[in-house]
Amino acid sequence: MCMISGNDIYKNEIKAQIKEIISHGGLIVFPTETVYGIGADATNKEAVKRIFVAKGRPSDNPLIVHVADKEDVKKYVTHIPFYAEKLMSYFWPGPLTIVFHKNDTIPYEVSGGLDTVGIRMPSSVIAQEIIKAAGVPLCAPSANISGKPSSTLFEHVKDDFLGKVDLLVDGGQVEIGLESTVIDLTTPIPVLLRPGAITKTMIEKVLDIGIIDATEHEISDIPKSPGMKYTHYAPKGHVHLLEGDKEKVIAYINRKAHTFDLMKVGVMAPTEYLKEIDAFYKIDLGSINQTDEIGRNLFLALRQMDALNLTEIFIPALPAKDFGQAIMNRLIKAAGHQVIHL
């Protein structure tokens, strides 16, 4: 059996199967609250290498280690900084990855050759049960072929990984839809490496200090996180990411869409925009006031655009604050860092 429902995770025979697969260096695709992950024993180099092959991922891009218990972190790091204690107690289990100095338990295959390791404790109960059943920490990147949008539905991971991994666990649609926030605590001042559902403001409030936002300079500077330098989330079509007043954006799309074959044009936008947009393929991301919903629908919509073989994809930019920062971070990457200012 290579596919199971997330509801079966409590069965003893399933737990035994998970342990068996992971202890033999196998791969399991499973849901987390953020996106689906493709997991292997983080302490087994050969297993880790298989993940890179299955994803087609560059081997210098480090993997996140997932634990089911906060107490386990000390087994994999040289020390736990004070800021980490605080963030773990506020935000774990949950969508926050903390970068620590690693110890020798974590092989360089996991950290992409770095002396640091990103660790998180997911809040997804299915993910937690799988880690517990495995009995080892699981390194798990997002379960998508490298460069494709991360997977938020079981159908996506099935398309990409059936036959390539030992087990796929169906958890339906994930809760958040964007990958975890990544924060580096190996420097004196914490550095935000990837925005997510745990926002910069939330972190600053808990730590009571200002943190450095490395994602602001992602386009021009040397990447702080190896993941920053790769094209991500790119659909096959050309993304036109439009920043400006709602009226201007709507007028631009209505004008520009007609310069292409309309059957090749797609628009993905908040509900409030979509009503006034004249296009054949439109995907409603959710209300502009409900960024949670927009975040959950984002990768799904990008994949739908691909499935329709659309070559021109128009997307209005959103205010890049709070969860909107994470949404815009993914959209800017999807647009190959090109934003059209109107």
> Residue 126 to residues 87, 95, 310, 320: CA-CA distances in angstroms?
23, 14, 35, 31
Does 34 help bind ligand TXA (rule: CB under 6 A)? yes
CA 324 to chain CA mean position, Å? 15
- Minimum distance of ligand TXA from residue 255's CB (angstroms): 37
On the CB side of 87, how many CA atoms lie within 13 Å of its CA? 33
Contacts of residue 149, defined as CB under 8 A and 6 or more positions apart, other chains included, come to 233, 234, 235, 298, 299, 302, 303, 334
Q: What, of Mg ion, ligand TXA, none, does residue 34 touch, CB below 5 to 8 Å by kind?
A: ligand TXA
**Residue 225 touches which member of Mg ion, ligand TXA, none, C-beta under 5-8 Å by kind:** ligand TXA
Q: What is the residue whose two structure tokens read 């107690």?
A: 89
CB-closest chain residue to ligand TXA: 227
Q: Yes or no: say if 330 and 177 are a contact pair by the CB < 8 Å rule.
A: no
Nearest C-alpha neighbor of 37 from the set 132, 160, 133: 160
Contact of residue 311 among Mg ion, ligand TXA, none (CB under 5-8 Å per partner type) = none
Here's the x/- map for ligand TXA, 250-279, by CB under 6 A: it reads as: ------------------------------
User: Does 226 interact with ligand TXA (rule: CB under 6 A)?
Assistant: yes
Check residue 37 for interaction with ligand TXA (CB under 6 A).
yes
297 binds ligand TXA (CB under 6 A): no
What is the spatial order of strands in the sheet that 28-31 belongs to? 3-5, 167-170, 28-31, 36-41, 138-139, 64-66, 116-120, 96-101, 181-184, 191-194, 212-213
Q: How far is the CB of 2 from ligand TXA (least distance, A)?
A: 19
CB of 116 to ligand TXA, least distance (A): 4
In the beta sheet, which residues pair with residue 169? 4
CB atoms within 10 A of CB 202: 17
* 325 belongs to the binding site for ligand TXA (CB under 6 A): no
Residue of 9, 63, 165, 211 interacting with ligand TXA (CB under 6 A): 63
Q: Of 22, 133, 182, 268, which one interacts with ligand TXA (CB under 6 A)?
A: 182
* Contact positions with Mg ion (CB under 5 A) in 127-186: 142
Which CB atom, from 195 or from 316, has the smaller least distance to ligand TXA?
Answer: 195
The per-residue DSSP string of 134-168 comes to: HTS-EE--BSS-TTSPPP-SHHHHHHHHTTTSSEE
Answer yes or no: are the C-beta atoms of 164 and 54 closer than 8 Å.
yes
CB nearer ligand TXA, residue 139 or residue 288: 139
State the DSSP H helix or E strand holding residue 98, giving kind and residue range, or none if neither.
strand 96-101
For position 199 contacting ligand TXA by CB under 6 A, the verdict is no
In the shown chain, the binding pattern of residues 92 to 121 toward ligand TXA, with x for contact by CB under 6 A and - for none, equals ---x-x-x-----------x--x-xxx---
- Nearest approach, Cβ of residue 119 and Mg ion (Å): 16
**Do 27 and 141 contact (CB within 8 A), yes or no?**
no
215 binds Mg ion (CB under 5 A): no
Interface ranges with ligand TXA (CB under 6 A): 32, 34-35, 37, 61-64, 95, 97, 99, 111, 114, 116-118, 140-142, 179-180, 182, 193-194, 225-227
Interacting residues toward Mg ion by CB under 5 A: 142
